[in-house]
Structure 1
Amino acid sequence: MYPIKFNTILKKVLWGGAEICKFKHLSELQDGIGESWEISQVKGNVSVVDNGEYKGCSLTEMIQHFGADFLGKHVYERFGEKFPLLIKFIDARDNLSIQVHPNDELAAKRHNSFGKTEMWYVIAAQEGAGLYSGFSKQITPDEYVERVHNNTIMDVLQFHPVKSGDVFFLPAGRVHAIGKGIFIAEIQQTSDITYRIYDYNRKDANGKSRELHTELAKDAIDYKMYDDLKTVYTSESDKTVGLVSCKYFVTNLLDLNKDIKRTISDKDSFVVYICMEGEASLTDNDGNNINIRQGETILVPAAIEWVKFGVQTKVKLLECYIPKI
């Protein structure tokens, strides 16, 4: 086993921008790319290994062949051969629709799928950009339906201005939307289920509106009021800073100016490193060496005991793994 890079899966969408290809240093610059799927086992979009002995193998094949050595024993026992996370970069040139995702129970009942709890790390944001997360006032399910029908749902959503480094945790059921001018890294459960609530009355080239899922969303929404919709943390150089800890994933921030060694074996889980800026070498306990730079994502299999980052320039990484529960 060795640290693995995967081929990038680019998604061209109407609201996509021009930043993803540049951020990832891709040779072919494409406009209108809204998402880059870094690690995925979503049907029809399964990641393929891009380095080493297993280059060309799919993520599914790697899990089938290595099992717990790849995922971690407790992860394998919990999820079997399903990879539990979907890792993305998102570049929003225009506002994304107001949406919500179902929880595990509802998603299993309706779609035979995981639910979708996720988090956002804001990599960059234009001046004045912001996003929506949660309600600004208490409403009822019936009021929600009425507001969707009379185009006033935006009046009760909480808007958050954002800047680079901001973090938002979005448990399933929380109404949300990414605003235009925002570039983020997204870590989420493996699910592609989205209920669209509101789309600003936009029309496509044929004059048609996109489908709304008003009734499906009604039962999926968490209508409670929350005060802590934005994650508060203090970044510290060369230390592990916790950002999100839930039963689906733990995410830490590593802002490194010097070399650092990270233990993997105690987590009993694969570990994903997503590079926000800079460049570093990554060496594991077997002597395998690989570089990671801005825009790249590496998966370290659970069988690897430790990795060491050799910092070439100041480097900022998100570290993500599946916790024991």
Structure 2
Amino acid sequence: MEAPADAKVGLGFAQSMKKDVVHDMVKRMDSAALLASLTMIPVKPGDAILVPAGTPHAIEAGIFVLELQEPTDLSALLEWEGFAVDGIKDGHLGLGFDTVLDALRFDPISAAEQKELIKSTGFTSKQSQSLFTSKADGYFRADLLPGDGSKTNAGFSILLMLDGDGILKTANSGSIAVGHGDALVIPWSAGDWSLNGGVGVVCRPPLPAAAALAP
């Protein structure tokens, strides 16, 4: 959504790691070493990254993100410097780090795989389009809406307004004025809807057919 110049995110280890080495860094709370072990990728506003399950990742300071997740609470913390979290106690889902680290991907993400996970739109399109690559289709959807009045089918949605002012028109629940920074939950019962004016991002669950094929 927003990122300073030269912003980066970490996505996967930069080289193959051993579980005991990672475990040692976690136990020592060596945040610097953990962050240095990641592949750092430059990012800018409008970039979308799918983080596969088990992939270690980090976000540099100053980056503002819109984060989509599957409906689970299965995040493990390997480092927590600067956060009001007791990671040693609460960072491992109650399983202990020796167990939870088995879910980690210790091999790097290849350059070819990166291309399947990262997409950049710059939020500049004049037409509705997915912010993610097709790899995300089975897990969730996020689409840029340019405010041209195109119909969005009925279904649970969250709309975040990125820029400008507009009118959200629904088939069953009337209309509402929306503007930059507004976030709205749109229930299925509102029916089909459209954004007229402004620019927004709509976040939705996956289509059932795509979810059924997700690994």
- When the two structures are superposed, what TM-score results if normalisation uses the length of structure 2? 0.74
Change (3 A) 1:136 1:189: same
* Kept in 1: contact 2:8–2:40 (CA 8 A): yes
User: Does structure 1 residue 232 correspond to structure 2 residue 119?
Assistant: yes
Match of 1:243 among 101, 123, 131: 131
* Kept in 2: contact 1:261–1:306 (CA 8 A): no
Name the CA distance, whole Å, in 2 between partners of 1:184 and 1:249: 16
Across the aligned residues of Structure 1 and Structure 2, the Cα RMSD in angstroms comes to 2.9
Aligned to 1:323: 207
Change (3 A) 1:240 1:155: same
1:137-216 equivalent positions in 2, closer than 5 A? 137-149=15-27, 151=30, 152-200=33-81, 210-211=87-88, 213=92, 214-216=97-99
For 1:132-170, what per-residue CA distance to the aligned partner results, in whole angstroms no more than 9, with x for missing partners? 221111223233224445643333211123221121112
* Kept in 2: contact 1:195–1:216 (CA 8 A): no
Aligned to 2:151: 262
For 1:236-266, what per-residue CA distance to the aligned partner results, in whole angstroms no more than 9, with x for missing partners? 533121123332211112234xx3121314x
Offset of residue 289 of structure 1: 0.6
Name the CA distance, whole Å, in 1 between partners of 2:152 and 2:27: 52
Change (3 A) 1:190 1:209: closer
For 1:2-33, what per-residue CA distance to the aligned partner results, in whole angstroms no more than 9, with x for missing partners? xxxxxxxxxxxxxxxxxxxxxxxxxxxxxxxx
**SS in structure 1 of the partner of residue 54 of structure 2:** coil
Name the CA distance, whole Å, in 2 between partners of 1:219 and 1:165: 33
* Kept in 2: contact 1:129–1:161 (CA 8 A): yes
2:22 partner amino acid: Y
Offset of residue 287 of structure 1: 6.0
> How many residues are aligned here?
192
In structure 2, list runs of 5 or more residues that go unmatched: none
* Kept in 1: contact 2:167–2:195 (CA 8 A): yes
Change (3 A) 1:142 1:153: same
1:290 partner amino acid: I
Change (3 A) 1:277 1:175: same
**SS in structure 2 of the partner of residue 185 of structure 1:** coil
**SS in structure 2 of the partner of residue 237 of structure 1:** coil
Change (3 A) 1:264 1:175: same
> Percent identity between the aligned chains?
22
Bigger strand fraction = 1
1:307 partner amino acid: W
- When the two structures are superposed, what TM-score results if normalisation uses the length of structure 1? 0.51
* Kept in 2: contact 1:277–1:316 (CA 8 A): yes
Name the CA distance, whole Å, in 2 between partners of 1:308 and 1:124: 25
* Kept in 1: contact 2:173–2:190 (CA 8 A): no
Name the CA distance, whole Å, in 2 between partners of 1:127 and 1:146: 33
In structure 1, list runs of 5 or more residues that go unmatched: 1-122
Aligned to 1:282: 168
**SS in structure 2 of the partner of residue 232 of structure 1:** strand
User: Does structure 1 residue 129 correspond to structure 2 residue 10?
Assistant: no
Match of 2:188 among 287, 299, 302: 302
2:137 partner amino acid: C
